[in-house]
Amino acid sequence: MSDKTVSSLKPKALLKELSRRCPGIWERIKHFRRGKEQALLNWPDWCYMPIAAGRAITSNMNSATETLLDPVLSPASVTALATWRVSQGVYRFDSELFIALIGQPFEGNIPCETLKRLPEWCVYIETNNFKSGDINVEGFFAHLESDIANNRTELRLLLVSSTGANVPVPLHLGDWTLEESMVRFGEESAKYIPKKLKPNMPAFGKAQADMIAPFLQLVLYLCAENADIPVRPSHPNTRVRMSGQVDVPKEARVWTVGERIGASIRKYRNEEMQHKEMGGTHASPRPHIRRAHWHHFRTGPKTDEQKLVLHWLAPIPVGFDDEQELPAVIHKVKSPHS
């Protein structure tokens, strides 16, 4: 991964642009959240700000169409940036872990409960121009949304492309698959499309699910109980004052993800390659690396509400002579005050 400076981070630049183009926005958001504290509005604590707030703030800016397409002033962008601002966490994955996560298929239902373990209200994950369909994605925001109109829970992704466009992707959460989530999103979107445009609207389903799956895998990893993050972030809801205001950091914080497990994957891949080059032996199963996968289970007393725990099982070495512990990795820790 490239060693970017904090000042050059993409989400920081977008945040600065939003402040410039929308003076007074932070006071408006504080006013909106004050309504929650005063019980005038209500939404779950795991959602910092519903997208209804983003729509209200942008409703008097330009035309509705222009605002909807604006990479900074669209309701989806305003909501993601405002939510990210309170913690400003940027997550940079080790290249081996990144490849392993985006390459594994997404199977089964979306573990919705686990997504409420996001380390911050909104995270920004770097993807270094990962190609999704026709879009080169520099990175993306991910946060939870509570739809005030119907109490629907969503995982909101905002893909930041290298061309400057931001592409919102809402995942409707429930006891169903990612493909079903895309179908539901398509059905909901169709309600707001003019009749003359509906015949040209593509059907949502497996194709869209396959495009979104790599991003969901990265988000889920940050929620996993065994995520390889040297120092786990402290959720910003611990910094909420009695008035509801949240202390906002001056600078973004880059979190390195997967250095230790990435080093382990590289080690075992190198060993597998050496076995192949040396011919190996077929007296026992050929040494190989078993595919990475998710493992989830519930913990806690059976008489009380149990917690769903998600573990990511890295590519597992099978049949090697020397299956050692994960290699040690030295982390350079920089004080946030330095």
What pLDDT does residue 173 have?
95
What's this model's pTM, rounded to 2 decimal places? 0.82
What tokens were used for 229? Answer: 């993050």
- Strand locations in the chain, DSSP E? 89-93, 122-132, 135-146, 153-161, 166-172, 253-257, 288-290, 293-299, 307-313, 316-318
Q: How confident is the prediction along the chain (338 residues), in pLDDT tens digits per residue?
A: 344 556 579 999 999 999 999 888 998 888 888 877 666 678 898 999 999 888 888 776 655 555 667 889 899 999 999 999 999 999 999 999 999 899 988 989 999 989 999 999 999 999 999 999 889 999 999 999 998 878 899 999 999 998 888 999 999 999 999 999 999 988 887 776 666 655 666 678 899 999 999 999 999 999 988 889 988 888 887 666 655 566 788 899 999 999 988 888 888 778 767 767 776 554 445 445 566 777 766 776 666 666 777 787 766 555 544 444 444 444 444 443 43
Sign of the dihedral through C-alpha 134, 140, 146, 149: negative
What pLDDT does residue 31 have?
84
| Class of residue 298 by CB neighbours under 10 A (exposed 0-12, middle 13-18, buried 19+) | exposed
3-class SS of residue 60: coil
All structural domains of the chain with their residue ranges: 6-256
Which residues have C-beta within 8 Å of that of residue 90, sequence separation ≥ 6? 9, 11, 124, 125, 126, 139, 252, 253, 254, 255
Contact 101, 221 (CB under 8 A): yes
| C-alpha gyration radius of the chain | 22
Burial 19-56 (b: 16+ CB within 10 A, else e): eeebeebeeebeebbeebeeeeeebeebbbbbbbbbbe
Contact 153, 144 (CB under 8 A): yes
What tokens were used for 178? Answer: 């990612």
